Amino acid sequence: MRFVDRTTSTIIENNTSRHTQLVRNYKQFPGQNKFFCGGRFMTSREYWAFILALILLIAPSVLFGIFTCPFIWEKVHPAIPIVFAYLFVLSLTSMIKTSWTDPGIIPRDLDPFPVLERYEDPGSPYSDSTWHHGIPIQKEVRIKDRSWTLRYCDTCRIYRPPRASHCRQCDNCVEVEDHHCIWLNNCIGVRNYRPFILAIVCIILLLMVGGLTLYHCSLILRGITTHEQLRASVMTKHSDLSANPYNKGNPVLNMTYVLCRPRPKSYLRRRKYSPAVN
């Protein structure tokens, strides 16, 4: 009889003790994944797009934080940089969590000997073959009032459960796979779907255009331009924004005027002819 003693990591066979080296599972993982920090984090193969996505998130946020946030902290409201910092940290950690966690990979070899469909028809090309005895049968399951076929995955040697899919980039079957995201260099599956949604929502909230839009909205609602606001803050004694003659008094009227006023024609006459100047 054969025993595996996991406490002393030995395989004991017929009363003899044979020390066999045991390694952590991630070092022998058959899929196309990269592991780091001793197997605590995992991602897929091509990480260049993820580095690009990180740079696209971090660089503008850091620039915004250095150059614009002090102004906003002093002149607009201190809550805005705090919210910005919180959203930045949340989107960064969500991106990293989506990229570096297991999406729900199904381990291999759970069904290594499936029942094969035998070909009895003598005209079939498979009937005399010694290697090809048939393909694995497909299993039928019922889901509510519908029928669904479970297909056999030859690479992972399992019957794939419903909503699972085999990812070609990662070479794994993933439970409830949504898609493979190259920007996060990982499959999006059941285990990292929530941080994925959180990452894209937070990035949208965070975008500089979003912040800038709010800033410009506040200008529009008061009927002033950016220059007027900046000059007003520099020369606080001499200028008073509430006496702005262009303010119609009603924010909705201000916004309507700014966004819906007619657009004058260009003064440049670009396609008309003039004598050449030598």
Partner 1 sequence: MATRSSMPPTSSSEQQPTDSVDHQVIDISNRVPDKAIRIERDYSQGNGITRFSNEYPLLLAGRFQHTIDGINHLLEEAERVSWRVVFDNVMECLTIYTWPIFFRTHYQQCIQRLLTFIHNENETLYHQHGISISNPIRCAYLFLEFKMYN
User: Which residues are part of the catalytic machinery?
Assistant: 181
Q: Does 28 bind partner 1 (CB under 8 A)?
A: no
Cα separation, 196 vs 215, in Å, equals: 28
Select from 60, 70, 78, 161 the one that contacts partner 1 (CB under 8 A).
161
**Shortest Å distance, C-beta 102 to partner 1:** 11
**Shortest Å distance, C-beta 238 to partner 1:** 45
Size of the site for partner 1 (CB under 8 A): 42
Cα separation, 248 vs 218, in Å, equals: 14
Shorter beta-carbon distance to partner 1: residue 108 or 180: 108
Shorter beta-carbon distance to partner 1: residue 35 or 119: 35
Q: From residue 52, how far is each of 56, 111, 267 by CA, in Å?
A: 6, 39, 42
Select from 63, 89, 115, 217 the one that contacts partner 1 (CB under 8 A).
89
- Name the one range near partner 1 by CB under 8 A: 74-82, 102-110, 120-128, 227-235: 102-110
Q: Does 63 bind partner 1 (CB under 8 A)?
A: no
Shorter beta-carbon distance to partner 1: residue 202 or 220: 202
Select from 35, 47, 83, 111 the one that contacts partner 1 (CB under 8 A).
111
Q: Does 154 bind partner 1 (CB under 8 A)?
A: no
Select from 85, 107, 179, 209 the one that contacts partner 1 (CB under 8 A).
107
Shorter beta-carbon distance to partner 1: residue 150 or 221: 150
Select from 19, 227, 265, 270 the one that contacts partner 1 (CB under 8 A).
19
Residue carrying structure tokens 């297909």? 151
Q: Which residues bind partner 1 (CB under 8 A)?
A: 1-6, 8-10, 12, 15-24, 38, 89-90, 93, 97, 106-107, 110-111, 141-144, 148, 158-159, 161-162, 175, 194-195, 198
